[in-house]
Each structure stands twice: as C-alpha cells, then as structure tokens.
Amino acid sequence: SYALRHNPGKYGIQLDEYGYTDLAHFIAALNRVHHLALTRGDIAAVIAHSDKQRFEIKGDRICALYGHSIPGIIHHQVATPPAILYHGTARRFLPSIKKLGLLPMQRQFVHLSTDIQTAHQVGSRHDSHPIILTIDTRAAQTAGIQFYVGNDQVWLADEIPAQFLHGWPKKS
Ligand code: HQG
C-alpha cells in the first residue's frame, strides 16, 4: 500500500495516470528496499487472500485500486453508484463534516462504502463508536457530483457537500 498509494518514489517506481506500474519492477523494488525475496506468486497470494480488494494485477502491471495520497490525481472510471452509499467516520469529525461536507483530506478522493458493515469497519479505524453517514448519490449526481469506481465495495468522489449527507446523530 505504501509503495502503490503513497510513496512510489521511495521505491524508484513510477505510476501511470491510472496508478499502474510494472509488476516485475515493483517486486524488484520491494525486494531491494526491504531485503526480501518476494515472487510474483507471493504478491498474487497477498491479493487473493486479502480481506479487501485493494490491488489489481493486469497482465504485467499492478495498481492500487483506491486510497492514493501521492501528488497528482490517479484517474478512476466515472460510473453511477448504488442510490445509497455509506461513509463511516469519527464522532469528533462531525462538526467539520457538517460544515464543509466530506473532503478527501490526505487522500485524492473521499472514500465511500456500498454497505453499512464495511462503512463501520472504515469508521472504526478512527473511533470506537463510529457514525455511519448515508449519501444520497442520485441527488448528488443530479447536482453534478461525479462518482468513480474503486472496487466492488469502494466508491470515490472529489467531495460530498453536506446537503447530500444523512444519518446525523441527534446531538451533532
Ligand atoms: C474524515 C481504508 C473533518 C473522514 C478504508 C475520515 C477506506 C473529515 C478522515 C480508505 C472531513 C480521513 C479510506 C471534514 C472527511 N472534516 N474530517 N470536512 N471530510 N473527513 O483514512 O475514508 O484498509 O483518509 O470521515 O477502508 O477513513 O487502507 O479516509 O474519517 O476504504 O484499504 O477524514 O482507506 O482502506 O481518513 O478511509 P482516511 P477513510 P484500506
């Protein structure tokens, strides 16, 4: 994740505009920097056994499907998401989100989940009692907000203004 989302430069690899890099170079770079002896089979096994669909190998290239923070935008396919998406977040972020909407913060995009359970897991990384906001994607799309494909469970957006967010707890 660190090499493919956040700091490819540390590994001497370059991502194309869709986030892909040469798989053989990527493996060689990981092995060089971390003194490992990974094979293509090891990388394929990590992807196959991961709890999330974070990476994709296409032919001789590999990419992270979402989560990037490197400078410059990685392009993702524009598409129509399910009518409702979810975003799990921390209670302490709610006043700011209510005012400014969902922003990408340190990443290139806002990350949204297709189901409540995943949103809960995402939010649990920030708060022991996360809040699950719901996103009215149809209203947002009508207002010109674009949604991008991450993987089967993750959708991305440049930002989600607060008017399209629902599910605020009573005391926020
Ligand atoms: C919050 C993991 C204040 C936002 C996950 C979130 C996901 C605001 C935090 C993926 C805000 C950013 C991304 C505003 C948003 N004011 N706080 N206006 N707008 N925030 O980690 O969505 O396991 O960058 O609610 O599962 O938590 O690594 O984003 O709490 O899919 O594959 O700012 O990363 O995937 O936190 O997680 P993050 P995220 P992996």
Spacing, Cα 60 to ligand 1 middle (Å): 30
Task: Print pLDDT tens along the chain (172 aa).
Answer: 999 999 999 999 999 999 999 999 999 999 999 999 999 999 999 999 999 999 999 999 999 999 999 988 899 999 999 999 999 999 999 999 999 999 999 999 999 999 999 999 999 999 999 999 999 999 999 999 999 999 999 999 999 999 999 999 987 5
Q: How many other β-carbons are positioned within 10 Å of the β-carbon of residue 13? A: 18
Rounded CA separation 9/109 (Å): 20
Alpha carbon 20 to its chain centroid, in Å, reads 15
CA dist 147 → 106, 111, 136 (Å) = 18, 10, 12
Atom of ligand 1 nearest to the CA of 110: 22
The per-residue pLDDT for 172 is: 56
At 1 the pLDDT is 95
Look at residue 170 in the predicted model and tell me its pLDDT: 84
Which of 93, 120, 156 most suits a substitution to test ligand 1, by most atoms within 8 Å of the C-beta? Answer: 93
Ligand 1 atom index nearest CA of 111 = 22
